[in-house]
C-alpha cells in the first residue's frame, strides 16, 4: 500500500514540475524587443525603442489638424462622420509617413479606430520586414 501511495505522490510531483517547466519555456519563447537587429519587436505602430529614445516630443501634423477634435475620445465613440474623416486622412498618407503619423496621433492623444489601426499596423510590419 505504501509503495503505491509513494508512486502516486511522485507522479503528481513530476506532473507539477513538468507543467511549471512548460510554462517557463512558453514564456521564454515570446518575442523580445531586442529579437530584431534594430531592437524593435515589430508589434507596435510606433517602435517603443524609438519613442523612448526621442528627447523632443514635437508634434508633426500631416495636414490633419481637423483630427485634434478627436483627442481623448475613444474610437468606439466616434460618429460615422468622424470615422470617415480619420479614414480619409489615413488613405491620403504616403506609406512612409504612417509610422510618424501614428506617433503624432499618440502625442495628440488621438486613438485610431480598430480597423484603421489594423491596416496601419500591417503596413508598418511590412515596411519593417522589407530588406534594406
What is the band of 41 on the pLDDT scale with cuts at 50, 70, 90?
Answer: low
pTM attached to this predicted model: 0.59
> Average pLDDT in the 1-30 region?
81
What is the band of 32 on the pLDDT scale with cuts at 50, 70, 90?
Answer: very low
Phi, psi of 63 (to 5 degrees): 55, 45
Residues 6+ apart with CB under 8 A from 5: none
pLDDT at 50 over 60: no
Report which of residues 36 and 130 the model is more confident about. Answer: 130
pLDDT at 44 over 70: no
CB 89 within 8 A of CB 105: no
What is the band of 13 on the pLDDT scale with cuts at 50, 70, 90?
Answer: confident
Q: Could you say which DSSP state residue 6 is in?
A: H
Q: Please write the tens of the pLDDT for every residue from 76-130.
A: 999 999 999 999 999 999 999 998 999 999 999 999 999 999 999 999 888 888 7
Predicted pLDDT of residue 47: 58
Integer Cα distance of 90 and 123 in angstroms:
12
Predicted pLDDT of residue 28: 66
CB 112 within 8 A of CB 105: yes
Integer Cα distance of 106 and 9 in angstroms:
54
The length of the chain is: 132
Integer Cα distance of 93 and 78 in angstroms:
21
Q: Please write the tens of the pLDDT for every residue from 89-99.
A: 999 999 999 98
Amino acid at each position: 500500500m505504501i509503495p503505491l501511495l509513494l508512486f502516486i505522490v511522485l507522479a503528481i510531483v513530476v506532473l507539477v514540475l513538468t507543467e511549471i517547466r512548460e510554462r517557463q519555456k512558453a514564456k521564454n519563447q515570446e518575442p523580445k524587443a531586442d529579437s530584431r537587429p534594430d531592437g524593435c519587436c515589430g508589434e507596435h505602430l510606433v517602435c517603443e525603442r524609438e519613442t523612448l529614445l526621442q528627447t523632443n516630443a514635437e508634434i508633426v501634423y500631416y495636414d490633419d489638424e481637423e483630427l485634434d477634435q478627436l483627442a481623448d475620445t475613444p474610437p468606439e465613440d466616434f460618429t460615422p462622420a468622424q470615422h470617415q474623416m480619420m479614414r480619409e486622412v489615413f488613405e491620403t498618407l504616403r506609406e512612409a509617413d504612417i509610422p510618424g503619423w501614428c506617433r503624432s496621433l499618440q502625442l495628440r492623444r488621438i486613438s485610431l479606430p480598430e480597423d484603421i489601426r489594423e491596416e496601419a499596423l500591417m503596413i508598418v510590419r511590412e515596411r519593417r520586414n522589407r530588406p534594406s
